[in-house]
Amino acid sequence: MKLKRIFSVGASVFLLLPSLSALAGCGAQETVRLRIYNWEEYIDEGGEGSYVYDELGEENAPSLIEDFESWYEKTYGTPVSVEYSTFGTNEDLYNQLKLGDAYDLVCPSDYMIMKLAAEDMLEPFTDDFFDESDEKNYYAANVSDYISNVFDNNYVTVTAEDGSQSQRAWSEYAAGYMWGTTGLIYHPDYVEEDQLNGWKIMLDQAFKNTVTTKDNVRDSYFVALAILYEDELIEIGKSHEQNELSDSEYNEKITEIMNRTDEETVSAVEKILLDLKSNIYGFETDTGKSDLVTGKIRLNFAWSGDAVYVMDLAEDPDGNEEPVCFNYYIPEECANLWFDGWVMPKGANTQAAQAFINYLSMPENAVRNMYYIGYSSVIAGEAVFEYVSDTYSVEEGDEEEAVEYDVSYFFGEGSVIGTYEDQLNRQFYAQYPPEDVMLRCAVMDYFDADTNDRINELWTKVKGASLDPWAIVVICVAVAAIAAFVVYVKLGAKIDFFRRKPKKGYTLVRQEPYRPVR
C-alpha cells in the first residue's frame, strides 16, 4: 500500500524511496521468539518465593525469564520474547515433539535425552558454546567438572535419517540443569537404623501399608532390579573396597546390572513388583511428600530434591504441628544418578536457546533456581559454593561441633564444609552425597522400541493385577446396581421384570402394583 502511494506522487519522490526506506528501518529490530518447554515449577518464577525478593524489596520480584529478556536485549542488541510452557512427564514431552510441536529448548531427563538423541531429533550445540574464552559462555565456565565428565564419557548411538549411525557423547546434545540421586526418606522414630538393609526394606512386612514408590515404570523397575541383584551388587562393592576394581570399573559394572532388560530379568522383576505392590501404601508421583509429613507413611522412595523439600518442611512446619526430622538413605548396593538437561529440538533457534542456558548458568542465577526449586544445580561456581556453605555450615559458636564434609569432587579441590553431624544423613547428604556414594550410583539408559514394549507390558500387568475377591464382588454389585438404575431411568414404567408376558392375542392391561396388606 505504501509503495502504491509513492508511485502516485511522481518520479521525483520515487527517487527518494531508498533513503526513506533506510530511515524507516533504522532502529526497528525484529523480536526473537524463544519457545521453552520445561517441567512444572522448575525455574525461579519471581514474587515472594524468589531468592531476590528481600534484596529488591519489591512486592513482585522479577522471574528469571523476565530478567533473561532484559539481559538478552542488552547483550545482543535484539529484543527477545520467551514463550514458556510446562509438561508433567518425559513421555508427555516426547509425545508433543512427535506430534510436531515446535520448541527451541526443552528439559527432559537423562534417559529421554538419550532417546531423543538416538532418534536424531536434536540439534547439536555449536562449537562456540564450549569456548570458555567467550565471557558470555557461562555454562562452559561454571559447570561442575564432575557433571562434565559424566556428559563427556557417556555415549548414545544416533541413527540419522539416511540410516547411518554414529556414537555421540551426551555433551554434544545436552547441557545439564539439575541433578541428584534417588533414595529413601524415612521417619527415624519408626524406622531403626538396623532395619535399613537396602532396597528390600520396601518389601518388609514390618512396614506394610506405610511405604510408597513412584508411579512410573522407570523408577519402580530400577528398585526391583536392585532388590533382584542385591547379592551381586554387594559383591561388586566388596571387590572395589579390596581394590580389585577401579572406580570406573566399579561404576560400569553397577550401571550394566541396573540396565538389564533380558526376558529372564524382566520376568523376575515383575514378580518383585507384584510383591512390592502388595506391601506398599500406594504408587505416587507427588503425594508422597505430604503423606510423610502427615504421618500416613514411614518410608518414601524419593528424588533427592523432593527429600530436601520434605525435610525442610517437616522441621519448620506451619501451624501447630510438631517439628519432625526426617532422614535420607541411599542403600549400600546402588542408587540412581539422574539428570535433567537442556536440549534443542530440530529446527531450534540455537543462538537464543544457548544464550538462555548460559544465562541460567551464571552462578548467581543457579543459586536463585536452587533456592526456588530445592534441587541441586549442575553449576559449581563460587557463588554456588558460598550459598551451600552458608546453608550447611555450623553457626558461629558451634565450631567445636563441626564435622568436615568434603564436596571437592563437585566444587573443586579443597571444598570442605564444617557442618552439623546430623547433616551426614539429612539435607546436605541428599544434595551432595560423598564421592564414594556417587560411585555406586548408576544412570538409567533409555529403552529401545522392543524393550520399551516389553517393559510397558510388565507395568500394565503390575498396575492392572487382579483385585482381592471381596473387591471384585463389591465392584460387580455396584456395576449391576448402576446398570439397573440406568435401565429404569431409560425405560421407567415401560418395563416390569416381575410381570408375566401376556399370551398371544391378549392385551396386557396396566394394573396398580400389588401392595401387601399390613
Element (H, E) at 278: helix 263-279
Name the pLDDT band for 506 (thresholds 50, 70, 90). very low
Tell whether 325 is covered by a domain.
Answer: yes
Considering only residues 153 and 6, tell me which one the structure prediction assigns the higher pLDDT: 153
Tell whether 314 is covered by a domain.
Answer: yes
Residues 6+ apart with CB under 8 A from 183: 301, 302, 304, 307, 328, 329, 330, 331, 335, 430
CB burial string 301-317: b at 16+ within 10 A, e below: bbbbbbbbbbbebbeee
C-alpha cell at 314: 517437616
pLDDT of residue 266: 96
pLDDT of residue 493: 45
Task: State the total domains in the chain.
Answer: 2
Name the pLDDT band for 299 (thresholds 50, 70, 90). very high
Residue 154's nearest CA partner among 177, 182, 174 is: 174
Same domain, 343 and 313: no
CA distance linking residue 388 with residue 370, whole number of Å: 10
Of 324, 350, 377, the residue that ends a domain is 377
CA distance linking residue 387 with residue 374, whole number of Å: 13
Considering only residues 21 and 175, tell me which one the structure prediction assigns the higher pLDDT: 175
Residues 6+ apart with CB under 8 A from 251: 439, 440, 441, 442
Per-residue pLDDT averaged across 404-420, rounded? Answer: 97
Element (H, E) at 266: helix 263-279
Same domain, 165 and 197: no
Residues 6+ apart with CB under 8 A from 130: 137, 140
Considering only residues 397 and 478, tell me which one the structure prediction assigns the higher pLDDT: 397
Tell whether 5 is covered by a domain.
Answer: no
Same domain, 389 and 373: no
Tell whether 43 is covered by a domain.
Answer: yes
Of 349, 377, 405, the residue that ends a domain is 377
Same domain, 199 and 167: no
Give yes or no for a contact between 220 and 460, defined as CB atoms under 8 angstroms apart. Answer: no
Same domain, 411 and 322: yes
Same domain, 420 and 289: yes
pLDDT of residue 54: 74
Residue 301's nearest CA partner among 467, 310, 371 is: 310
Which CATH number goes with the domain that contains 430? 3.40.190.10
- Taking only the tens place, the pLDDT of each residue in 103-137 is 999 999 999 999 999 999 999 999 999 998 899 99
- Taking only the tens place, the pLDDT of each residue in 45-86 is 998 888 888 776 666 789 999 999 999 999 999 999 999 999
Phi (first) and psi of residue 79, to 5 degrees? -70, 150
CA distance linking residue 379 with residue 411, whole number of Å: 9
CA 60-62-65 angle, 5° bins? 145
Tell whether 251 is covered by a domain.
Answer: yes
Burial of residue 383 (CB within 10 Å: 0-12, 13-18, 19+) is: middle
Burial of residue 165 (CB within 10 Å: 0-12, 13-18, 19+) is: exposed
Name the pLDDT band for 503 (thresholds 50, 70, 90). very low
Considering only residues 343 and 24, tell me which one the structure prediction assigns the higher pLDDT: 343
What's the whole-model pTM score? Answer: 0.82
DSSP letter for each residue of 221-248: HHHHHHHHTHHHHHHHHHHHHTTSS-HH
DSSP letter for each residue of 414-436: T-EEEE-GGGGGSHHHHHS--HH
How far CA 410 is from CA of 51, 96, 295, 378, in Å, comes to 23, 35, 35, 9
Tell whether 23 is covered by a domain.
Answer: no
- Kindly provide the residue ranges of all beta strands, DSSP E only, lying in 187-332, ordered along the sequence: 211-214, 282-284, 299-303, 327-329
Same domain, 309 and 369: no
Same domain, 208 and 283: yes
Considering only residues 203 and 28, tell me which one the structure prediction assigns the higher pLDDT: 203
Please state, for a pLDDT cut of 70, what percent of the chain lies above it.
Answer: 83
Burial of residue 242 (CB within 10 Å: 0-12, 13-18, 19+) is: exposed
Residue 352 has pLDDT above 70, yes or no: yes
- Kindly provide the residue ranges of all beta strands, DSSP E only, lying in 281-386, ordered along the sequence: 282-284, 299-303, 327-329, 335-342, 344-345, 376-377
Name the pLDDT band for 319 (thresholds 50, 70, 90). low
Of 422, 447, 463, the residue that ends a domain is 463
Lowest mean pLDDT: which of 63-72, 233-242, 306-315, 472-481? Answer: 472-481
At residue 26, the 3 state secondary structure works out as: coil
Same domain, 365 and 262: no
pLDDT of residue 475: 54
- Taking only the tens place, the pLDDT of each residue in 376-392 is 999 999 999 999 999 99
Residue 250 has pLDDT above 90, yes or no: yes
pLDDT of residue 128: 92
Q: Is the dihedral of CA 379, 383, 384, 386 positive or negative?
A: positive
Give yes or no for a contact between 111 and 340, defined as CB atoms under 8 angstroms apart. Answer: no
Residue 359's nearest CA partner among 8, 6, 64, 36 is: 64
Tell whether 247 is covered by a domain.
Answer: yes
CA distance linking residue 212 with residue 286, whole number of Å: 11
C-alpha cell at 298: 514411614
Same domain, 284 and 365: no
Name the pLDDT band for 511 (thresholds 50, 70, 90). very low
Same domain, 284 and 411: yes
- Which residues pair with residue 156 across a beta bridge? 168
Give yes or no for a contact between 83 and 35, defined as CB atoms under 8 angstroms apart. Answer: yes
Task: Give me the residue label for grid cell 568436615.
Answer: 404
Residue 439 has pLDDT above 80, yes or no: yes
Residue 226's nearest CA partner among 197, 192, 193 is: 197
pLDDT of residue 61: 87
Per-residue pLDDT averaged across 243-248, rounded? Answer: 96
Lowest mean pLDDT: which of 7-16, 101-110, 256-265, 347-356? Answer: 7-16
Domain of residue 318, residue span: 179-338+378-463
Tell whether 4 is covered by a domain.
Answer: no
Residue 282's nearest CA partner among 463, 457, 461 is: 463
Residue 9 has pLDDT above 50, yes or no: no
Q: What is the CA radius of gyration of the chain?
A: 30
Residue 5 has pLDDT above 60, yes or no: no
Same domain, 262 and 303: yes
Give yes or no for a contact between 419 and 183, defined as CB atoms under 8 angstroms apart. Answer: no
Q: How many residues does the chain have?
A: 518
